[in-house]
Structure 1
Amino acid sequence: MDFPVTFQIFGKTVLAHPVFETLGIFLGMRFYFYLKRKSTEKLSFNTSAAVLIGATAGALIGSKLIGNLEDPYALFEHFSFKRFWTNNTIVGGLAFGLIGVELAKKIVGHKESTGDLIVYPLILAIIIGRIGCFLTGVHEETYGLPTTSVFGMHLGDEYLRHPVALYEIAFLIILWIFLKRIESKRKYPSGFIFQVFMLSYFTFRFFLDFIKPKVGIIGNLGTIQLVSLSVIIYYIYKIKNTIKFKL
């Protein structure tokens, strides 16, 4: 396979990453609305609208902000709006989307968790997006460090690299199966599946970034790892309280 994979759309050459990212968002949203129609838990219009606006605004701001702060030196020394707008990361989107939802819920006075329903659509959207990351190779900053391991692949340059996008896809498929098994075992309080998803995904991303190119912010830890650590600590606390409530 030759990297990067591109598509001809309206006479222009487009990298696979934005194509699959857009497809992932579209299919993830369709899956979410399908699950929402089937769900017995109904939210009022005001609550649904507030959660949607909070999640969208938070995710948009967070994905751009954290994506650019991965290399703060480049951001501040050679700032350009085009670079700022095109840099994004799912880690920032999830973390700030969570903040946006929690703020929106406080505004409308909704105290119950609203996260479980979005878990599997999120996983589906990320998997599809990561297919695009893999097909783009080294032409966007979603590749791994050079490696001599059996997993190394040529992604568009002379090095064998960790195919980190494939690692993430494999992890998310396993996580999907694991969460389904948790659901089938017993009834947990609303929001528990989302909490396990967030803890699992951010723990995975923390360790995955050790085999990705990054700028060290504190020691050898990059921006994404520092954000991941904050979310991990938050959800360890949340899950501890949820399990205590269950018992």
Structure 2
Amino acid sequence: MDGAALHATFDVVAWLAAGAAGWWLSRVQRLSFPQQSTAWPYVAALLFGAGVGAYLFGTLNLWLSGLAGVARSVEGALAGGIVAVELYKWRHGITLRTGARFALPLALGIAVGRIGCYVAGLDDFTYGTPTTLPWGHDFGDGIPRHPVQLYESAAMAAFAAAYVAAVLRRNEAIIANGFYLALGFYGAQRFLWELLKPYGPIVGPLTLFHLLSLGIVAYSAAMLATAPPAKVMHERAVA
């Protein structure tokens, strides 16, 4: 199986893992979340924004790095989805926070999906800069590089594990604000790994994804700073 096929396989597994995470939260842990986040117009806005953002920022980064073609970006999809959902909520006068159910699916989906980026090799253009560290990976051109995909995968898996622990403890603050915590953590760790990628800078040493990461962290911080008091969000199972 070639790199592209392996990448596609891991994309499917990532979606399945995200779906399984959502099922575990709602069916096994019996957490309740705002119902607006399952309404079809909401989901349509989310998917549209994520799709546009994924290709817009992925392709733009490719061009800024001096390469031709079309590309997708996980971070671009996140940014596009956030903008689309916030615009949808503003247009319909929705003040309810609707992201809580997506914290664990997001973290787990990225953790799995980034492995697909790793196995895809050089064609995926998600590899790191050359390194002499013993865990540097040769993607086929004879140059050991930082496996930044695995760094990101491990970081998001660690967040997922911490979130699961908080759910099992019924930590209402973490459950209620988990999505914004996931976004903030994602943006911060992504900013760090971008320092180890060969992307073209646009503002000093900062690349497009550096700026996007800062934007996501700022959004997360603003939402956390204005978060209402956490409410009980779980239903106790009947003995």
Q: Which residue of 2 aligns with 1:99?
A: 83
* Residue-pair matches, total: 227
The answer to whether the aligner puts 1:154 opposite 2:138 as a matched pair is yes
Stretch deviating more after TM superposition (18-27 or 215-224):
18-27
Structure 2, unmatched stretches of 5+, are 231-239
Q: CA deviation at 1:239?
A: 1.6
Scaled by the length of structure 2, what TM-score is found?
0.83
- 2:126 counterpart (142, 162, 167): 142
Amino acid at match of 1:215: G
* Counterpart contact for 1:55–1:97, Cα < 8 Å: yes
The answer to whether the aligner puts 1:124 opposite 2:120 as a matched pair is no
Q: Which residue of 2 aligns with 1:25?
A: 15
Structure 1, unmatched stretches of 5+, are 8-13
Q: CA deviation at 1:36?
A: 4.7
CA distance in 1, matches of 2:64, 2:210: 17
Scaled by the length of structure 1, what TM-score is found?
0.81
* Counterpart contact for 1:199–1:232, Cα < 8 Å: yes
Q: CA deviation at 1:69?
A: 1.4
Secondary structure of 1:147's counterpart equals: coil
* Counterpart contact for 2:8–2:116, Cα < 8 Å: yes
- 2:39 counterpart (33, 48, 62): 48
Q: CA deviation at 1:207?
A: 0.9
Q: CA deviation at 1:188?
A: 2.0
Q: CA, structure 1 residues 36+50, in 2 after alignment: closer, same or farther (shift >3 Å)?
A: farther
Once the two structures are aligned, what percentage of the paired residues are identical? 27
Q: CA, structure 1 residues 65+124, in 2 after alignment: closer, same or farther (shift >3 Å)?
A: same
Amino acid at match of 1:155: F
Q: 1:1-247 alignment to 2 at 5 Å?
A: 6=2, 14-29=4-19, 31-32=21-22, 35-36=25-26, 38-41=30-33, 43=35, 48-73=39-64, 83-84=69-70, 87-183=71-167, 184=169, 186-188=171-173, 191-242=176-227
1:133-158 per-position Cα deviation (integer Å, ceiling 9, x unaligned)? 11112222011111011221222111
CA distance in 1, matches of 2:175, 2:91: 20
CA distance in 2, matches of 1:194, 1:44: 15
